[in-house]
Every structure is written in C-alpha cells, then in structure tokens.
Amino acid sequence: MVANNPVRRRIRVTGTVQGVGFRPFVYRIAKELDLTGYVLNDSLGVLIEAQGAQKSLDRFEQLLIDNAPDLAIVETVTSEELDPSSDKEFVILQSKDLGLAAAPVSIDAATCDQCLIEIDDPHNRRYRYPFTNCTNCGPRYTIIKSVPYDRPFTTMSTFTMCDECQKEYDEPTDRRFHAQPNACPRCGPTLQLISPRGLVLSTGDDALKQTVSLLKEGLIAAIKGLGGYHLAVDASNDASVKLLRSKKGRWDKPFAVMVQDLAWANQICELNAGAKALLSSPKRPIVTCAKKKDHSLSNAIAPNLDELGIFLPYTPLHYLLLKDFGSPLVLTSGNMTDDPIAYEDSDARNRLFQLADIMLHHNRTIYIRCDDSVAKSTCSGQQLIRRARGYAPEVMRLKCSTRRNILAVGAELKNTVTVAKDDFLATSQHIGDLEHLSTYQSFTHTVAHLGNLFGVHPDLIVHDQHPEYLSTKFAHQSNLESLATQHHHAHIASCMFENQTTDPVIGVAFDGLGMGTDGTLWGGEFLIADLEGFTRVAHLKALPLPGGAKAIKEPWRMAVSWLNEICPPEQVEKYSSVLNPKSYLVLSLIQAIPQPTTTSMGRLFDAVAALLGIRSVITYEGQAAIELEMQAMRNTSKKYPKLDYEILTSDSMIVADPSQLLLQILKYKDGGLPLEELAMAFHNSIAQMTVQICTTLASINRIDTVALSGGVFQNSLLSQLCKQGLEKNGMRVMTHHRIPPNDGGISTGQAAIGCWKNRT
C-alpha cells in the first residue's frame, strides 16, 4: 500500500550498529510499517532512506532506538526530509565505503541462546557444530581485517558459503541475514586434533570427543579459541594443574577456570547478583569471585588466594567442550609466562607443543590477538581489570570535539592504545608488557589496525613522560607531533573521562611506579587536576627504592628501606635479617649510595606485606598487595588497633608519613596480634590518611570531587574504605568501572587529555 502524500527521510544511525543484525532489523520494521526505501552500512554507521506516511516514519525512528538488537549500541538517530521517490519496496543495499571509517566495530559476542538450541538439536543441520553463529552472536573484532564489516574483509573470506548458508545470508527475514561469519558443517571451519609431531589424530566432532577423553586422562591440551590459544587441563586433577604450572613457569599467578553454566559456577564460588550478570553477559569476562570452602577443584589453581577467576563458555566450541567434559576446566592463556598469548597457527605449534600434549586446532584465522577480559563485581558496581575480548574495541564519546587525529600509546606495562578524533575515542584490547619483543610487535600491529578500523590517521601522538617506555620511544620515532603526559595525571584523566567530568578534581593516584615531573618515581600522589593540567599538592613520603626494578619483584627490599628510615640501627638489623639473608647488602647500599627514591603507595603495600611475613618475593605483579588485602578480608574482629601516621604540611606540599604506623605494626606483630587484624588495621589507617588529606585539600581548594585511580585501587577493600570516608565527609567520589584503574587505562587518559587540549 502506498501512503497518500508520502514523506521521505534520510536517516543516519550512528553507534555500534554494524555486524549486530541492524540492517535485517531495519528491514523488518520498515516492512511492518509499509515503508519503501533502502538501508545500507557505510563507514559512518547505518544509512537509511525511508518513505511512507508521516506517522509511520515517526514510529520507525522511535523503534530504531527502542527495539534495536541486543548487541547494538545506538548513539544517535538523525534525519532530514527529502523529496519522495518512486521506489516500490524496501531493500538492503550493498555497503558503501566512504573512506572515513567511524562506525564502531562490534565486539566478539558469546553464543546466543537460539544458536545453542540448534547446536543441541540432533535434527538441526548445525547439531554440535562448533562454529555456529548468527547476527546476534559470534566472532567480530578478532576476524575483521578492515571496515565496512562485510565477509570479504574478514578472515571468513576464504570459506564459500554452501547453498543453504547463502540462502540464510540472503533472506532478510532470517536470523542469519548478512551474518558475516555464517557457516555450517558443510561449508565452514572444521576442527582437527593434532599431535606434537604434526599428525592429524582426528577431525570434526571426533576431534572434539577425543580431546575430551584425553583431557580426562590428565593431558594438557592447547585449544584454539576466539582471540588466541588456551591451555586446558582438568580443573579437578591436582597433578595436571601442577604440571601445567611447572611447564608454563607460572608458579602462583591464579589460573582461570571455565565452568559450564551458572549452576556450576555457584558450586565453586560465592556469586553476588553483579557477578552473575557479568558471567552471563554476551561479553563473558573472567570474573573474580570468592572461592567456596568445599569446592572440588585443585588447590593449585589459585594458591594462597581466597578468590578464583571463573568464566562461562563463549563460543560453541567451548560450550560443547565443557558439556562433554562434564566438569570445570582450567583454561589459561596459551603462552609461557610473560609471553603474549599465541594466536597464529605456526607460532602456536612452535611455542605451545613445548607445553601441551595435544592441540585442538581449527582453520578459521584469528586476525588480531585478544585475551580474555577480567572483571569483578564490587559493592560499588562492576570494575574492569583487563579490557580485552568482549570489551574491545571500546568506543566512548567525548564531551568535547577534537580537531586532531590522536593516537595515545599508553604505558609500558598492561599496555593498551587509544585512537581519537572528532567526538569519539576508541581503546584497544589489552596488549601486555611491551618489554617482550612479540608483545611490542602486537602493539605496532594494534596501533595500525585500530587506526584503520576507525579512520584515525594520527597527527598527534600522546605518550607517557617516562623516556624509557617503549611506547614513548615509539612516539618519538614516529616523527609526528607529540605530547608528553605525566603518568598519574593520565590515571586521573581516565577516571575523569569515564565519569564525564571536565571540572577540576582532587585526584588520588595510588599505583606502582610512574615518572614524576621532577624525575623521581611517583606513585602515592594527590593532584589538583583537570584535563588541561595538574598541580601536585600532596604525596606519600619519598624513600629509597633499593635496587630499582629489583625492588618490584622483591618486596623485602622496600621493607628494608622503611626499616632503615624508622628504626634505630640495632633494630634495623634485627628486623631486616629476618626478611632476607642478603638484607645487610641492601642496607649498606642504601646507606652508602644515594638510591632513586619513590613515593609509591604500591611499594608501601609491598613493604608491609613483607614486614608481616606475608610475601617477600613475588612471582606475579601485585602479588604481595593482593595477599595483604586477602589477609585483611579474613579479619572478622572489630577491635583491630588504630594506627597512627603523620601529615606534614608546608606552604606548597603536604607529605603523608606512615613511619609511626609501620613501627606500630612491628610492635603489634611482636606482641602476637593476628595477621588479619594487622592487615585490616593497615588498610583502615591508609584510608583514613587519604580521607584526611583530601578533606584538607577540599577546603583549601574549594573542590568537593575526588577521583580515585591507579593500580592500587584494584584493591576493593581500600577503595571501599576511602569512598565511605570521603562520602561521609561530604565529598563526591569518582571510581572506575569501564576503564581499568591500572595502567590498562593510561592510553584512554592520555587521549582524553590530548582531545581536551585540542578541542574545537
């Protein structure tokens, strides 16, 4: 039926609207409303021309927002009137490449319920097919080579759809209409089980079944997933888990465990509502939750910890694997400790057969490496710890528009990169620690890829002030205009950006080490900051960092440094000799040669963990602080002591001196006070000290907003104590949710600063 006096509109939809079933959805509602015209994907998003009755068009625009597919994030719908044309039906047109890609690429999404039903149905042609997907689910970011998101530009281009798949792909009413990775057992990727000598042991469903039975025998399997290879073992088999640890050289860092469903998750961990929502979201991160006491898994999975990282299957392959296996599997990144996760087939074979007995391989190419994301659910909401699969790329809108094309290259550890132009920025997946050559290669690959996907051709590079970071060196070698940002300013900027504020805040940046403007290593900082700049107004007392980088891996060194600061000489020796037999060397080093100093809060946590005998040498980053927090969480007593500290104020700077607090810790420990109470007392006093300084700063500077950032704020207990205290004193507190508080958030903060300084 043709409307009387038809109206025609050109409608532009922006946001994450490609590769999420948006065009079929537009087609369906256009048909329902008797509209004619067309829809297409272009580099700006989705473009529609629709013609029909005025009322229908109004309704149509409303439905575009209200009924959008689950994976879509509609940011704007704008329209303009056109002259009516003579088209008779509504069609989906070929994608247009306008050469300026700003349409956000969708994330890799977990298998949807409808696909799972098909996989479980013996009469369905996709019964037990591990690469089943549709427009509501499946791989995206990890298979896309360039935009617009169409099959020829993905790694699925090597597979030709069979007639049946093609029919689904072409049929506008089908769930698989323009599902770019659409596949079936006849035409799509297949599995192979491979031996270390390269023999194909079995293929297809047999490969899956044989993998399951070999895992049951206790073998280690390398399994190709979505963004890389995992190493898998039976999570209940203690010997296998320990063997995997020793082969990987990963001594304590917890392994993640994949469980079949929420019911299984519930048997192993305490789940709050937030954790359940995170676990079952299409993003499917690893979620850290409190372990139940009576779980049946190997204790070698997360030694010394009360928490466990668990996740649910996110591809049909994982779903079938867990279902057939019948109980949880350790699924850890396929690499030797410190290397990046393997994702290319030949590299995986070279590296992983040193660790794995078998390899479950498939022939769908992974274009870009993407680890599993890690998140947690705290009492103040979700917090992302590692942004990767499901969360990358993350596109966020700026409050201002920028006139530059910006690349922010992040920090050295936990590196991510961010591109920005116009009114958006996009942050990459977790890349890793740049000191490893293959991670650095991954960094350069991601820089190029992200720029291409989002059409950002950088004319300004934002980097850290640390001259030795490889990301800084990359920036200098680029010959582009560059902008150096101070590490902790970038932390605070990332928190401000995430909380959509541009007004000045009191920024509390507690982390490991970052280069300060005075050339010393900062990390316990109070800044009056906005996106333009900052003033350092308070910090933790500066102390020698004996042995530089060595002190990071050996918390006892920082403990010796503090002992040297606070105790009389005879006591220094008494306490430090207990910490490490070599402590006298460190002592004479501190006393003889000026060492670099640091104000790092992370290092203070290290020192206390060492003084309390919790951890003197670490095998993974943050281990000492994590174990100190865990001790405090075990505390049930309300009578733990209140520890003292001093706040020294001069004209231009406030210095927080925890010397008293450390002396009291030593005294109480000698007196036999339980570890949990002391750990809790320490957390409580640091929070009090923080609140007191912020309260003073708030009244001096007439600012009532505090932003908490830096890796130390991954510590939920400390965050919560600080937040409560600050709010009690009438301050507004901003924390992290979407952007990690650790160095994974640095590139986002750098980009936010760069955009603001170059706003239109």
Q: Which bin fits 374, alpha (ψ -120 to 50), beta or left (φ > 0)?
A: beta
User: What would the two tokens of residue 346 be?
Assistant: 């030949």
Residues shown for the chain? 760
Residue 112 binds Zn ion, judged by CB under 5 A: yes
Distance of CA 211 to the CA centre of its chain: 30
CB nearer Fe ion, residue 313 or residue 514: 514
CB nearer Fe ion, residue 30 or residue 601: 601
Stretch that binds Fe ion, among 56-64, 444-452, 507-515, 608-616 (CB under 5 A): 507-515
CB of 743 to Fe ion, least distance (A): 4
Stretch that binds Zn ion, among 74-82, 183-191, 291-299, 445-453 (CB under 5 A): 183-191
Enumerate the β-bridge partners of residue 396: 425
CB nearer Zn ion, residue 169 or residue 620: 169
Residue 464 binds Fe ion, judged by CB under 5 A: no
Among 572, 604, 743, 752, binds Fe ion (CB under 5 A): 743
Stretch that binds Fe ion, among 316-324, 513-521, 563-571, 718-726 (CB under 5 A): 513-521
Q: Which does 49 bind (CB under 5 to 8 A by kind): Fe ion, Zn ion, none?
A: none
Contact in structure between 635 and 676 (CB atoms under 8 Å): yes
Distance between CA atoms of 287 and 140, rounded to whole angstroms? 22
Contact in structure between 609 and 519 (CB atoms under 8 Å): no
Stretch that binds Zn ion, among 51-59, 159-167, 269-277, 694-702 (CB under 5 A): 159-167
CB nearer Fe ion, residue 241 or residue 722: 722
Q: Which does 743 bind (CB under 5 to 8 A by kind): Fe ion, Zn ion, none?
A: Fe ion
Residue 165 binds Zn ion, judged by CB under 5 A: yes
Residues 6+ apart with CB under 8 A from 296: 236, 267, 268, 327
- Give SS3 for 474: helix
C-beta nearest to Fe ion: residue: 511
Residue with tokens 């980009």: 751
Distance between CA atoms of 166 and 151, rounded to whole angstroms? 12
CB nearer Fe ion, residue 410 or residue 455: 410
CB nearer Fe ion, residue 511 or residue 530: 511
**Nearest 5°: phi and psi at 585?**
-65, -45
CB of 188 to Zn ion, least distance (A): 6
In the chain, count H helices and then E strands. 23, 30
CB of 141 to Fe ion, least distance (A): 26
Stretch that binds Fe ion, among 82-90, 238-246, 478-486, 742-750 (CB under 5 A): 742-750
Closest by alpha carbon to 249, among 555, 619, 618? 619
Residue 137 binds Zn ion, judged by CB under 5 A: yes
Strands 7-16 and 73-82: antiparallel
Stretch that binds Fe ion, among 266-274, 512-520, 571-579, 588-596 (CB under 5 A): 512-520
Residue 184 binds Zn ion, judged by CB under 5 A: yes
The amino acid sitting at 738 is: R
Stretch that binds Fe ion, among 129-137, 386-394, 503-511, 558-566 (CB under 5 A): 503-511
Residue 554 binds Fe ion, judged by CB under 5 A: no
- Three-point CA angle 132, 20, 148, nearest 5°: 105
Residue 394 binds Fe ion, judged by CB under 5 A: no
Q: Which does 134 bind (CB under 5 to 8 A by kind): Zn ion, Fe ion, none?
A: Zn ion
Distance between CA atoms of 755 and 760, rounded to whole angstroms? 9
Q: How many residues bind Fe ion (CB under 5 A)?
A: 3
Q: Which does 511 bind (CB under 5 to 8 A by kind): Fe ion, Zn ion, none?
A: Fe ion
Among 511, 525, 530, 621, binds Fe ion (CB under 5 A): 511
Stretch that binds Fe ion, among 120-128, 239-247, 274-282, 506-514 (CB under 5 A): 506-514
Among 40, 162, 290, 336, binds Zn ion (CB under 5 A): 162
Distance between CA atoms of 263 and 276, rounded to whole angstroms? 10
Residue 136 binds Zn ion, judged by CB under 5 A: yes
CB of 621 to Fe ion, least distance (A): 11
Residue with tokens 């917890």: 254
CB nearer Fe ion, residue 233 or residue 411: 411
CB of 18 to Zn ion, least distance (A): 17
Distance between CA atoms of 593 and 736, rounded to whole angstroms? 40
Q: How many residues bind Zn ion (CB under 5 A)?
A: 10
CA dihedral for 306, 218, 325, 128, sign (positive or negative)? positive
Enumerate the β-bridge partners of residue 423: none
Contact in structure between 401 and 336 (CB atoms under 8 Å): no
CB nearer Fe ion, residue 309 or residue 514: 514
Contact in structure between 314 and 284 (CB atoms under 8 Å): yes
Tally of CA atoms within 13 A in the half-sphere of 690 that contains its CB: 34
- Three-point CA angle 283, 286, 288, nearest 5°: 130
Binding site for Fe ion (CB under 5 A): 511, 514, 743
Binding site for Zn ion (CB under 5 A): 112, 115, 134, 136-137, 162, 165, 184, 186-187
